[in-house]
Amino acid sequence: MYNTNMKKWWMIPFVFLGGGLAFLASAFCPVCAAGAVVGLGISRYLGVDDSITGIWIGGLLIMLGMWTVAWLKKRYSNLAEWWQATVFLGYYLVVLGPLWWLGKIGHPLNHLWGIDKFVLGVIVGTLIVVLAMKLHYWLKMKNSGKSYFLMQRTIFTLVGLLIESGIFYFLTR
């Protein structure tokens, strides 16, 4: 499906650009973004299944949305709720729209459980990050506003994405 030479090189600029943008944005979890971007680049290079690549892209998209909303809230304290939803929707459309238009999403032989593997991965990756963040904040609330261990939020996010990637690896073999 992919030209192997193209598969190796098209991701390199995005790895550096994505990692760099996370640090420039003063994101609350730049290690998560760097891990997601590097994981995505490596998985594409190695020819990993689209569902696993989608998991990492879904995680990256939800984190980018959270960072952007946090940045906008600092600038504009009265940011409307619909603007926040628009930011998240915009990120997903910017990534999934061109892939659908180019025919990379929606191929009838690239489905799992009736859903395109890439789209399924994006959905699962998004849910994993949201659940990891909820778990982090719940544990923090139980511990008088303090994390139980250093980099708790980052570790929960990365471990969740890694576990789900492992599950999908065995499901798609």
At 102-154, the pLDDT tens digits run 677 777 777 788 788 888 888 999 999 999 989 888 888 888 888 778 887 88
- Asked if the structure places residue 83 within a domain, the reply is yes
- Asked if the structure places residue 58 within a domain, the reply is yes
- Asked if the structure places residue 161 within a domain, the reply is yes
Q: What is the number of domains present in the chain?
A: 1
β-pairing, 111-112 vs 115-116, is antiparallel
Instruction: Give the model's pLDDT for residue 128.
Output: 92
- Interatomic CA distance for residues 63 and 13, integer angstroms: 20
Q: What share of the chain has pLDDT > 70, as a percent? A: 74
- Asked if the structure places residue 64 within a domain, the reply is yes
Instruction: Give the model's pLDDT for residue 31.
Output: 53
- pLDDT over 50 at 8, yes or no: no
Q: Which residues span the domain enclosing 118?
A: 50-171
- Asked if the structure places residue 107 within a domain, the reply is yes
- Interatomic CA distance for residues 149 and 157, integer angstroms: 14
Instruction: Give the model's pLDDT for residue 81.
Output: 78
3-state helix, strand, coil in the chain (%, to 5): 75, 0, 25
Please compute the mean of the pLDDT values over residues 78-105 and round it to a whole number. Answer: 79
Instruction: Give the model's pLDDT for residue 22.
Output: 46
- Asked if the structure places residue 73 within a domain, the reply is yes
Instruction: Give the model's pLDDT for residue 153.
Output: 81
Confidence class of residue 27 from pLDDT cuts 50, 70 and 90? Answer: very low
**Helix (H/G/I), strand (E/B), else coil: 29:** coil
Q: Contact 44/56 with Cβ under 8 angstroms?
A: no
- Interatomic CA distance for residues 138 and 15, integer angstroms: 32
Query: Would you state the torsion angle of the CA atoms of residues 14, 167, 61, 26, taken in this order, to the nearest 10 degrees?
Result: -80
